[in-house]
Amino acid sequence: MIHRPALMRPPTGSYDANALAVLKKLGYSVVNWDLDTNDWRAHDFTQEKAAYQEMDKDTSGTVGHITLEHEVYDQTVNELIPWAIEYVKSKNYKFVTASECIGVEPYQ
């Protein structure tokens, strides 16, 4: 059995109304992040952690976040991710799949 993904993250997070309309017609839900660590930019562990700590200031009523990291950087993999896992757990967030986070089925 072949499964077609139902979720799509646009390259660089960029899209317009036309792209959204085409993707919707093809059965995709667009998923983007709301917390960007900018790990690709500065490779600054303090700055990357600060992106997660912004969750503490969130008053929008959001019950979850989707973060952006890049696994091609050693610092992200070896320092940021282990720290982030513990930090997120300490805030009583639960790790879920992207489809669970936005409330859609993962496959079409």
pLDDT at 15 over 80: yes
Per-residue pLDDT band for 79 (boundaries 50, 70, 90) equals very high
pLDDT of residue 2: 85
Element (H, E) at 3: none
Element (H, E) at 7: strand 7-8
CA distance 102 to 7: 10
Over the stretch 21-69, which tens digit does the pLDDT of each residue have? 999 999 999 999 998 998 888 788 899 999 889 888 877 777 788 999 9
Indicate the pTM of the whole model: 0.81
Each residue of 31-51: b (16+ CB within 10 Å) or e? beeebbbebeeeeeeeebeeb
**SS3 call for 91:** coil
Task: Tell me which H or E stretch contains 85.
Answer: helix 81-90
